[in-house]
């Protein structure tokens, strides 16, 4: 994968965290740098950790499924994308004002499960896993920290849009991977 493709993927993966960050920002009377930093570290950290775990799981099973790896990438990214698009159409959930570790940990895990599946696909693609996890973590940190401020300033208008955009990006990346392996795209 090229660097720009990884960046687009990182943006797509960060959209769940961005949407939750907007909701966290909505719950605050006045957002602070500390709160933006906490959200950025939790979401960015887990968004970087999960693809790394997925990558090592994928490497372990790579020899068993090399012939169908492009289909696996397509299906996983497509399912994650469809799920994000569905979430964009659902009623907004209430997100607690708490920034305690227990709550932040559960939100960070919930928003990064899709990154685990993406990490599995990295094992089958030519991806520099170090660059990928750093980029995903940094992009998610920035988007999540910004989400606190955006939610605090503008409200919930952007939550569903960000999930919809993220879902579409992941579906398109999965389709591109499949079409390249089938020889339709170069």
Mean local confidence (pLDDT), 24-52: 92
Q: Domain containing 113: what range?
A: 3-181
- Asked whether residue 123 is domain-assigned, the answer is yes
Q: Is the pLDDT of residue 10 over 80?
A: yes
pLDDT > 90 fraction of the chain, expressed in percent and rounded? 33
pLDDT confidence of residue 113 = 84
- CATH number of the structural domain spanning residue 89: 1.20.1250
What pTM was estimated for this model as a whole?
0.76
- Asked whether residue 186 is domain-assigned, the answer is no
pLDDT confidence of residue 61 = 81
Span of 7-21, 123-137, 147-161 with lowest mean pLDDT:
147-161
- Asked whether residue 10 is domain-assigned, the answer is yes
- Asked whether residue 69 is domain-assigned, the answer is yes
Distance, in Å, from the CA atom of 125 to the CA atom of 73, rounded to the nearest integer, reads 9
- Asked whether residue 82 is domain-assigned, the answer is yes
Structural domain count, the chain: 1
Angle (nearest 5°) at CA 84 between 31 and 55: 95
Mean local confidence (pLDDT), 78-96: 72
- Asked whether residue 39 is domain-assigned, the answer is yes
């Amino acid at each position: 994968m090229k660097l720009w493709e990884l960046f687009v993927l990182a943006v797509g993966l960060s959209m769940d965290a961005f949407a939750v960050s907007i909701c966290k920002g909505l719950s605050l009377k006045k957002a602070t740098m500390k709160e933006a930093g906490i959200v950025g570290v939790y979401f960015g950290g887990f968004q970087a950790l999960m693809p790394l775990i997925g990558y090592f799981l994928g490497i372990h099973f790579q020899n068993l499924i090399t012939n169908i790896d492009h289909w696996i990438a397509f299906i996983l990214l497509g399912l994650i994308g469809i799920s994000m698009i569905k979430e964009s159409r659902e009623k907004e959930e209430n997100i607690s004002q708490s920034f305690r570790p227990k709550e932040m940990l559960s939100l960070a895990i919930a928003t990064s499960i899709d990154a685990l599946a993406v990490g599995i696909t990295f094992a089958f693609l030519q991806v520099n896993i170090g660059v990928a996890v750093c980029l995903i973590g940094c992009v998610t940190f920035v988007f999540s920290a910004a989400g606190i401020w955006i939610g605090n300033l503008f409200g919930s208008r952007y939550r569903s849009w960000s999930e919809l955009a993220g879902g579409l990006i992941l579906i398109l990346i999965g389709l591109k991977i499949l079409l390249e392996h089938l020889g339709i795209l170069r």
